[in-house]
């Protein structure tokens, strides 16, 4: 169980973070609101994000419409992601545990499974790229570099929240300098095709594919955001939390995805895009060796975001275990679950095929499909239905007011997902019949969001939120004292 009345200390053994899915009491709240900016900037400002900007170019689009799709997709998808960020300081809980009021104590496993697969999946791609980057610059076996990247990320994730924030801030400052120079080189010295800026070259299928993948990539961060804002004092405003998260994430995404588009467009017709090779060659146009500097720094960025995934994956895994068998979220549980998450990503990276781009694109589309209805349900519940009022203690009770299964959330999620299926187009995996009629254009995001959101709102009209607030007042009367003395040995 996440909350107990047992006596304990809130100390950090060896400097390691001791809290996980449990409530963060006000006495432990700390940090500055602006720290969210560099954290989410750097989370996006890494070369796995660059690969997201290739989709339109590799499917027949031109530069100008690819960039428009990237900018519009980022601005759209980041809105939902940043809206979740404000939940952290107000509730003092990590993101995915907040799904219990909508989906139920056990019902939330439905979305937690997909969330955990996402964490592991992104780590596969991140560590592969980190291993390849170090192989090109320093030599050695790619698999050994993958192992090294995983181990370093494990240590960062284990130390936890504060170290992750600090690392991302330091990397942000270095990134602005190094990738600022790199961007100038790409713009000035990498050639583009003659139709690159032709607005008359619009093609719906590549544009919508790029828009969908970008929006899905940004929405996929929604399952992380409260994890990294939950230690902030609850007095911070919703709007400022939103803007710092939105600004950092959107800027990092547009910058790197835009670079991906420019690099992909510079290739000769028929050439296969090589993420690592293209970055290395472009960097060396400034001076020999600068491409290697960029790749080494990129590997560090990938390791840092791998640590984010291990940290979030651990929280999700603990949440899932707690739904089946009530556990106390101790430091040992953190160590074990971070280790399991690291091991899954490591094994996946070591046995992964070489077809990186196709697999990464398909993975991003699957992420989009699974989390579109979830983000709709969660945000409608937080901002419209319950308006941020939850009984924190009841979230951790199987027999609490939120029940084992939240039928409203589950039905809304499933109906929203089902409504999207005819509009899916994952290329090699599946193409819905409506997508075929639209010449392959995937507009499922515009279907799943409103369907799930509207249905959940309608079904929730029967909720007695006033009664819930009364229960919350009674149940959480000693919340601060209980959380502050919770055992963590």
Q: Does 3.40.140.10 match the CATH number of domain 13-484?
A: no
Query: Please, which pLDDT band fits residue 14 given cuts at 50, 70 and 90?
Result: low
Q: Mean per-residue pLDDT for 273-296?
A: 92
pLDDT tens string 333-358 = 999 999 999 999 999 889 876 666 56
Whether the per-residue pLDDT at 360 is higher than 70: the answer is no
User: Alpha-carbon distance 154 to 335, whole Å?
Assistant: 9
DSSP string, 61-85: --HHHHHHHHHHHHHHHHHHHHHHH
Q: What percent of the chain has pLDDT over 70?
A: 93
Identify the pLDDT of residue 257: 96
Whether the per-residue pLDDT at 9 is higher than 60: the answer is no
Query: Please, which pLDDT band fits residue 238 given cuts at 50, 70 and 90?
Result: confident
User: Alpha-carbon distance 414 to 374, whole Å?
Assistant: 9
Phi, psi of 431 (to 5 degrees): -135, 115
Whether the per-residue pLDDT at 10 is higher than 60: the answer is no
pLDDT tens string 421-464 = 999 887 667 888 898 887 777 888 899 999 999 999 999 999 99
Identify the pLDDT of residue 252: 97
Whether the per-residue pLDDT at 151 is higher than 80: the answer is yes
Q: Do residues 434 and 440 touch, judged by C-beta distance below 8 A?
A: no
Whether the per-residue pLDDT at 280 is higher than 90: the answer is yes
The three-point CA angle 115-378-429 to 5° equals: 40
Identify the pLDDT of residue 269: 62
What value does the mean pLDDT of the chain take?
88
User: Alpha-carbon distance 41 to 475, whole Å?
Assistant: 38
User: Alpha-carbon distance 45 to 171, whole Å?
Assistant: 10
Segments making up each domain of the chain, as ranges: 13-484
């Amino acid at each position: 169980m996440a909350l107990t009345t047992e006596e304990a200390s809130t100390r950090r053994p060896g400097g390691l973070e001791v809290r996980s899915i449990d409530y963060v009491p006000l006495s432990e709240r700390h940090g500055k609101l602006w720290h969210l900016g560099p954290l989410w900037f750097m989370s996006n400002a890494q070369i796995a994000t660059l690969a997201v900007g290739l989709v339109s170019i590799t499917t027949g689009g031109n530069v100008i419409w690819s960039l428009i799709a990237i900018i519009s997709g980022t601005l759209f998808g980041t809105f939902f992601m940043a809206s979740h960020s404000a939940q952290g300081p107000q509730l003092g809980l990590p993101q995915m545990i907040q799904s219990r009021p909508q989906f139920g104590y056990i019902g939330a496993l439905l979305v937690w499974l997909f969330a955990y697969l996402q964490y592991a999946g992104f780590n596969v791609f991140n560590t592969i790229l980190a291993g390849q980057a170090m192989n090109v610059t320093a030599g050695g076996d790619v698999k050994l570099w993958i192992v090294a990247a995983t181990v370093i990320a494990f240590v960062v994730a284990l130390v936890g929240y504060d170290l992750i924030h600090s690392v991302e801030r330091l990397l942000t400052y270095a990134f602005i300098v190094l990738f600022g120079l790199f961007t100038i080189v790409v713009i000035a010295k990498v050639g583009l095709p003659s139709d690159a800026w032709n607005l008359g070259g619009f093609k719906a299928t590549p544009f919508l594919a790029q828009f969908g993948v970008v929006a899905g990539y940004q929405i996929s961060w929604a399952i992380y955001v409260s994890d990294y804002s939950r230690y902030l004092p609850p007095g911070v405003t919703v709007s400022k939390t939103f803007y710092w998260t939105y600004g950092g994430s959107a800027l990092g995404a547009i910058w790197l995805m835009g670079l991906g588009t420019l690099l992909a467009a510079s290739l000769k017709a028929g050439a296969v895009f090589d993420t690592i090779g293209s970055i290395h060659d472009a960097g060396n146009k400034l001076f020999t060796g600068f491409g290697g500097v960029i790749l080494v720094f990129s590997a560090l960025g990938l390791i840092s975001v791998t640590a984010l995934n291990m940290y979030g994956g651990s929280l999700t895994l603990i949440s899932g275990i707690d739904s089946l068998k009530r556990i106390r979220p101790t430091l040992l549980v953190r160590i074990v679950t971070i280790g399991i998450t690291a091991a899954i990503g490591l094994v996946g990276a070591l046995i992964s095929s070489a077809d990186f781009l196709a697999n990464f694109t398909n993975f991003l589309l699957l992420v989009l499909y699974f989390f579109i209805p979830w983000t709709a349900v969660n945000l409608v519940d937080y901002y419209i239905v319950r308006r941020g009022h939850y009984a924190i203690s009841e979230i951790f009770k199987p027999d609490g007011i939120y029940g084992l299964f939240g039928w409203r959330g589950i039905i809304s999620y499933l109906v929203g997902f089902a409504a999207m299926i005819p509009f899916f187009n994952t290329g090699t995996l599946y193409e819905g019949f409506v997508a075929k009629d639209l010449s392959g254009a995937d507009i499922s995001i515009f279907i799943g969001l409103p369907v799930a959101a509207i249905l959940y709102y309608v079904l929730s009209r029967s909720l007695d939120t006033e009664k819930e607030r009364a229960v919350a007042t009674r149940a959480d009367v000693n919340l601060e004292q209980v959380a502050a003395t919770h055992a963590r040995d």
